[in-house]
Chains A and B, each alone.
Chain A
Amino acid sequence: MPDTSSVPTPTRAGTTRTLLRLLPFVRPALPRIILGMVAALLAGLVALGIPLVLQALVDGPLASGDSAQVWPAAIIVLVLGVLEAAFIMARRFFVLTPGTHVEAHLRTTLYTKLQDLPVAFHDRWQSGQLLSRAMSDLGLIRRWLSFGVVLLIVNLVTIVVGAVVLFFWNWILALVFLVCSIPLWIYGYVFEQKYSVVARRSQDQQGDLATAVEESVHGIRVLKAFGRGKHSLEKFTRQADQLRGTELDKARAIANIWLWLLLVPDVAFALCLGGGVWLVANDQMTGGALVAFFATATVLRFPIESIGFLLSMTFDTRTAVDRLFEVLDSPNPITDPTDPATVTEPRGRLTFEGVHFRYQDAGPDVPDLVDGVDLELEPGETMALVGLTGSGKTTLTALTTRLYDVTGGAIKLDGVDIRDLTREELRRRVAMAFEDATLFSASVRDNVLLGRPELTPGSQEADAVLAEALEIAQAEFVAELPDGENTTVGEEGLSLSGGQRQRLALARAVAAAPSVLVLDDPLSALDVDTEARVEAALRRVLATTTALIVAHRPSTVQLADRVALLQDGKVTAVGTHSQLLATNDHYRYVISSLEPDNTREVEK
């Protein structure tokens, strides 16, 4: 379980305290939930009232043979029965809507929080684990709120009231009944300890299994290319088998509690039967009271039996709440400042001042990934970032929009530390295109105009921006799609080739009309012809926009006014392409394809 191990296990608080954490979300629904409980309680009390009538009937008219009294008794029982049904209906009516609203509220809160949490968090958490929280855990919480907790409390109260009634019929029998149920409560406690551990393990393993499923689908091309379907099936089978083992452990725990839950009332019934008949024989109790005692005890059986199920549901829910708050409690180190600054005159000057970055979990002897970068991009300047794989280029670009925060130094946009800007403003001013272009399930139009929410969809201006961006990115293939720019792409739509996706991602960054454009190797999947055309068009945009471009190829570098050479997390040289080519050996090694033998000699 790669993921669960990397997530710190929180110290386990008590079940009640954990569940109470839901309170802020439940509060608006609380009145209705309480009303629901009241209704359920009334239903329980009414059900307990029926034996009273029975006792009166048995000891009265049935003993005396007064058949006229049978009718009223039956009618009272009927009225009580109708009342019980009405109260149960009321309970459902009260509890239904708030439960679903709480679930919906929790779900949107979780989603909002997840969107807010930094990329570093998402690096650590597999989306399968997140999905199982958003779907099954929240569904469980809803069912528990609108059903589990209501019935748990109401059934407990019903049991207490019922016990009092039993004492009212006969204290000796009631005592027998209660003493017999003591092992039940002891076992219930043991059960909590055992079950919550297994329940947690089961939920985690389900999350891991979901991750395995997800990877097998997303990585299907690799699996097919290597014919490793069988291999991944074996791994999946192992995981599914582990889950099966856990589920069986869970069933064992449930079987045990069932054993006690059924055994105890039955033993109690048997003893009460012997005792009761003996008491009646000795005139210590009326026959009617004995009948009523059993009728009451029978009404109590179901609440007692349901306790086990409701308890396990409660512990499941507690685990779900734990898992939910693991996410909601995650600190977000990348937040908006309390008193945000703003760039009053956006010109597009981007400055790196002694920038350091390292991953939190990097070992102490590992040097910083970005190790003191000083770099200044003048307004309108295009700077290419060149360096070997792993020299920190992509990381440096991710720092500019605070996908990660610098761990030392500062990045400034027009003289303002980017941490003093709201993330909204920063990301409005700095637009990115990633190498692995992500498209969302939406039309080409919406995907390209993603960074321009202020444009009215379908307006002339929006169309103009769209057309221009597509033209610059040489995405003329859009016209040939089934519905042109209205074609749905992404997860739920048409799948595009890597080059096509990359061009749309580039168009998206261009359409955002930022003051700074950050492009992470934006042309890697394009063929030479297209690349040349994109470059020609890009020049128009880059003439007026500050740009930072990660480049692997000389052709891309030639878009730039200046080049910064990144080596082991440091900028070791800045200059024009031809300057560096003439003076810097490492630069030649990195960028030049010609005469590899010579350059390698020099490198050595």
Chain B
Amino acid sequence: MSVTGVEGEERGDYTRDESRQIRARSRRLLGSLLRPVRGRVILTLFVVVVSTAAQVAGPALIALGINEGLPAALEGRFVPLGLAVGAYLVTGVLGAVLIAWYTMLSARVSQAILFDLRRRVFLHAQRLSLEFHESYTSGRIIARQTSDLESIRELLDSGLNGLVRGVLYMAFIGVALVVFDPVSALVIAASLVPLAFLTRWFQTRSQRGFRATRVASARLIVKFVETMTGIRAVKAFRTEKRNDAEFGDLVEDYRDSNAKVIKLFGIFDPGLILIGNTAVAVVLLVGGFRVIDGGLAIGSLLAVLLYTRRFFDPMEEMAMFYNSYQSAAAALEKISGVLEEEPSVPDPVDPVDLWTARGALDFRDVRFAYGGDRTVLPDFSLSIPAGQTVALVGSTGAGKSTLAKLLARFYDPTAGTVELDGIDLRRLHPKDLRRAIVMVTQEAYLFSGSVAENIALGKPDATIDEIVAAARAVGADTFIDKLPDGYDTDVNKRGGRVSAGQRQLLSFARAFLADPAVLILDEATASLDIPSERLVQEGLTTLLADRTAIIIAHRLSTVSIADRVLVMEHGTIVEDGTPADLIAGTGRFSRLHAAWKDSLV
């Protein structure tokens, strides 16, 4: 069995092979993040090595002061003492300054890595197809980019510092002990055995615990975001109490899994202290006898005791590292999973440029099935010459929207090709594709920012005059002028203050500004009132005069501006002709049109 991408993300029971595979994937990601900053990493390491060495010199210099300086001072010579004090001052200042420098250096490195990772995940999430987004859901992809990145930040910020300095500290103390008193060094070496067992026990237990924590927190986030974004429905249907209960359970799960992990620390941390203190007692015992024998100077005993005590000091910090390491590793596993997902609508390897698109569209023997088995378009061929305005008509599920999504390359066909000006969309340069083909959907999403910024999404370098002109062309200017700050009005969260119809007008203005060769309108006027729709249609007749357009609309009013009507049924075209011909005929469209006509006043 193997796990690729985000598959099996919420499982806790990986086989040995799967775990190895996931870890390798995380390691590769980590390596690729470190590579660009390796120069700085090396400098940072150098600084921390020197600064730790300077710090570790302290007790040795105290021993020197007592062993050499004291007898000399008794004889009235203060030079050795002065030297020891001077050396202590120098190492102290050097150690402190270098540590401060190291803090800055490591912050630069970790911020560079985070910045890189943030951008990569963001970019990748944007590149992944809608198919992925529809199945992976927004809550989880948001969790990857927020809470998971947060735990990696914690690791880099504090955890890694603790580890690097801790390991160096212990290593240098080890060296100092060997130099000073090899016997005590042996005692410390012996204490490493229980230390290793304790750490190993902790490692295996906590790994499982941290995985559970991540899963619990992701569930919590999904529920939270869903409630806040759907707050109107929550209130209207009085689900507050039920949500409270459900959220309360999720909070409790999260609390419980957190508590389990912290409990492990409750054993690990005192265990470390115990090992350290036992070592101090043994060093004292062994050293005490040798001082009496004259085999060890008093100053040296002090230095050895200070070293032993300090040797275990960083362990607590290193345990903290383990804390953040575990959650960061779990986070990295998931992030690397997302990054491993191949976009099912990949950018072309060898893109074909299309500087000016004419707008001829061709479907050649296209078959399309969602997820590979739910066939929507069985075998579809269609040719739309440049400049034609086509209305797509048919009941829900006939495949109209699928057709639109294939044209906008939200999806790729399962078989066959979709072409623009004779070029397979899969080979077309993305920038040219997006410039040439623009789709406006019923769901008109507004981003936080001003009205002008939202319209400018259609053309980021647009001047304010162009933006106003686009708004005017679709008749959005009347309501924008009434907003508190006109075009600079903040549309707020999810366009809270802007009505559904107004949002659609804004997204029309966006499309106008984008000025594409092919415009796809998927139910883009559904929320408009009739006068607005009329205005938009007027704008459309001028706009669509020299470009290709695919219009999907349930209301047949749109059909009046179409050159050609396609009636779809179960993924095939059942009628194809000019509106006039079809209305005059006896087919499905003429019946639909008659019914629609009746409904008008």
Contacts and interface: CB of A to CB of B under 8 A. Distances in A.
B445 interface: yes
Interface stretch (A20-28, A65-73, A188-196, A406-414): A65-73
Contacts of A85: 270-271, 273-274, 277
Contacts of B309: 295, 298-299
B529 A590 contact: yes
B444 to A, nearest CB: 8
B16 interface: no
A14 to B, nearest CB: 26
A220 B130 contact: yes
B303 to A, nearest CB: 9
Secondary structure at the A interface, as helix, strand, loop or mixed, is helix
Contact of B269 (A88, A244, A302): A88
B326 interface: no
A77 B73 CA distance: 31
B66 interface: yes
Nearest to B254: A104
A575 interface: no
Contacts of B482: 366, 390
Interface string A232-244: 1100110011001
A3 B448 contact: yes
Contacts of B112: 244
A261 to B, nearest CB: 8
B108 interface: yes
Contact of A278 (B73, B269, B433): B73
A115 B510 CA distance: 34
Given A115-B227, A438-B230, A495-B134, A100 B281 contact: no
Interface stretch (B32-40, B377-385, B591-599): B591-599
Given A127-B228, A262-B96, A294 B306 contact: yes
B590 to A, nearest CB: 14
A530 B225 CA distance: 32
Interface in A83-106: 84-86, 88-89, 92-93, 96-97, 99-101, 103-104
A472 to B, nearest CB: 17
A70 B114 contact: no
B255 interface: yes
B280 A77 contact: yes
B237 A508 contact: yes
A260 B100 CA distance: 9
Contacts of A8: none
B285 interface: yes
A73 B288 CA distance: 9
Nearest to A474: B396
Contact of A248 (B99, B108, B276): B108
A387 B127 CA distance: 41
A186 interface: no
B447 interface: yes
A240 B115 CA distance: 6
A255 B288 contact: no
B568 to A, nearest CB: 11
Contacts of B500: 394, 435-436, 521, 524
A333 interface: no
Contacts of B221: 131, 135
Contact of B266 (A93, A281, A491, A524): A93
Interface string A475-496: 0010000000000001110010
Given A50-B280, A213-B142, A291-B298, A227 B433 contact: yes
Interface stretch (B1-9, B203-211, B329-337, B549-557): B549-557
Contacts of B43: none
B258 A100 contact: yes
A375 interface: no
A361 interface: yes
B139 A491 contact: yes
A427 interface: yes
A225 B262 contact: no
A418 interface: no
Contacts of B448: 2-3, 126, 211, 215
Q: Which of B81, B220, B281 has the most CB of A within 10 A?
A: B281
Contacts of A281: 70, 73-74
A552 interface: yes
Given A248-B107, A259-B97, 7 more contacts: A134-B224, A226-B510, A277-B66, A389-B479, A453-B238, A512-B237, A593-B530
11 contacts: A2-B449, A82-B278, A112-B244, A221-B443, A222-B510, A247-B111, A259-B97, A441-B226, A521-B500, A525-B442, A554-B600
